[in-house]
Structure 1
Amino acid sequence: MSESTVPALPPRTALVTGATSGIGWETARLLAERGCTVIVHGPDTESAHHAVERLVAAGVDRARLRLAVADFSRLSEVRELAAEVRGLHPALDILVNNAAVAAPERHTITGDGHELSLQVNFLAAYLLTRELAGPLSARPGARVINVSSAMHRTASISWSDLNRARRYSRHAAYAQSQLALTVFARAAAPAGATAVSVHPGVCETPLLALYGHEGEPAADGAARVVRLCEPGTELVPGGYYDRTALSPVAPVAAEDRTVRRLCKVADLLVTA
């Protein structure tokens, strides 16, 4: 077969959550520069529009960008976002579950009844991924990248008090959300898709205060995320990547019973 008759690869479509700043914004930029159509998600219309305009100012082709708005502290908006994506993009090749917040100093419960960081960082990603199973199964080779954290190694899942109402610590709540997100990557991915989690490194983002005072540029962390999105990068299904290296997860995250239990609980929480 001559070079001229080799069939072209179909254009890829990616959804990046939490794409208004930090690693999410840089991930959207890098994916668009690599030829993807990128759905840029933000929690509100103003920040999402601003993110798109900044991407265009940075040299990204506006034609490659789509806008998506959903406040992940409201699960109804997660469902609406998923329905919009399903309607406009029957095939989705990449889902980067990047949206995250630091757990507040004071214990905060969403209108859905969940601790804020648990919902935004994990339950929203869980629900969105499940709701997008159709588009993620439409073409072979789809990838779900959960942007997690090495802090999952310090965490435990408080099964009897997921909201940590009895003994709240913002660091423990945030770490629990990252552990849950890491465990979720080991659950069954949509048919034909591969799911992994990644610690992109400690970077200069709004979450830096949870880790320390110095971090790498967000673009460096995004480059590690995008590497896992590339078709040429071989992935281990359910694997956890520390920057660029496949690494062992926390022992509890490696237990199949933990994966089953977490998914069962999450199913109840997102449908309650």
Structure 2
Amino acid sequence: MPENPTILVTGSTDGIGLETVRLLGAGDATIIAHARTREEGEEAHRRLVSSGVDARRLQPVVADFTDLRQVAEMAAAVAQAFPRLDVLVNNAGVAGTGDRVLTRDGNEETFQVNYLAPYLLTRLLEDRLGASTVSRVVNVSSSLHRGGRINWNDLNGKRRYNRGAAYAQSKLALTMLTTALTELRPKVREAVSVHPGIVTTGMLRHYSYRGRPVVEGAEVVARLADPGAKVLAGAYYDGRLPARASAAAVDAEAVAKLWKLSERLTLVERHRG
């Protein structure tokens, strides 16, 4: 385990993200805490410090994931400030909108926030992850990925949009990213996906009636994000235990196809420049 590890947690202003930062902040890690807006980040910072997290170990970053330019700018800021990134936790996500919404980049909002933005962020931080002996990506997925499918001919739901289907598609794509990082990107040494359980967050009302306390889901994520913890690279975790991901999530041909499509949709090489 590296001394004084650096961990980036996206979507850290509430829910599982906030509690994950609080749990990881109890150790000696520097936590890069992502917020959608500066105001939300400042409020989360106050809550974390008041709960006992050392303010000197919290580094705020801001990006609205509905704007890929902001994602790229955030990645550049992280890369400039930190020579090494030990763990990236792709936690930020949305439940989906009732009606179809396109981002300024032209993508359906749920697909961009839950998948394309994490994809771009991960790709742009590959070198910093590669500088770590841990080099781990934790993708916060959902068991609902099992019911998802990548609608190759209508990713944005122009012909037929459904909130639940859009969410399931985005989480399937994020789980496929774990497979891609494991098989296609040697700079990332370990990648895992995790369903943290059904917990009481803002998304609960859209997909379930009852959930467990948020901290229980955060404990699952924090354990996988702990640089000192051993994980099964490429695995999908259902809570604390490895489980079988959907067949689509590990389909080599589909994973490679999505990877190439994601490169085009995010303009990743242009953002590198």
Structure 1: distance between partners of 2:10 and 2:227 = 20
- Among 189, 201, 206, the residue aligned to 1:205: 201
- Among 2, 17, 23, the residue aligned to 1:30: 23
Gaps of 5+ in 1: 1-7
Structure 1: distance between partners of 2:35 and 2:186 = 24
> Structure 1-normalised TM-score?
0.95
Query: Aligned AA for 1:159?
Result: W
Equivalent residue for 2:73?
80
TM superposition shift of 1:12: 0.4
Query: Aligned AA for 2:123?
Result: R
1:39–1:65 Cα contact (<8 Å) kept:
yes
- Secondary structure at the aligned position of 1:110 is classed as coil
User: Number of residues paired by the alignment?
Assistant: 265
Structure 2: distance between partners of 1:67 and 1:234 = 27
TM superposition shift of 1:165: 1.0
Equivalent residue for 1:92?
85
2:199–2:217 Cα contact (<8 Å) kept:
yes
Query: Aligned AA for 1:145?
Result: V
Provide the alpha-carbon RMSD of the alignment. 1.3
Equivalent residue for 1:135?
128
Taking the TM superposition and a 5 Å limit, the aligned residue runs for 1:1-272 are 9-188=2-181, 189=185, 191=187, 193-271=189-267
Structure 1: distance between partners of 2:186 and 2:98 = 36
Relative to 1, partners in 2 of residues 1:36 and 1:232: Cα closer, same or farther, differing over 3 Å?
A: closer
Structure 1: distance between partners of 2:60 and 2:166 = 30
2:135–2:187 Cα contact (<8 Å) kept:
no
Gaps of 5+ in 2: 269-273
2:137–2:188 Cα contact (<8 Å) kept:
no
Structure 1: distance between partners of 2:64 and 2:189 = 26
Percent of pairs with identical residues: 46
TM superposition shift of 1:100: 0.2
1:133–1:190 Cα contact (<8 Å) kept:
no
Structure 1: distance between partners of 2:230 and 2:51 = 30
Structure 1: distance between partners of 2:55 and 2:131 = 25
Structure 1: distance between partners of 2:188 and 2:262 = 22
- Secondary structure at the aligned position of 1:185 is classed as helix
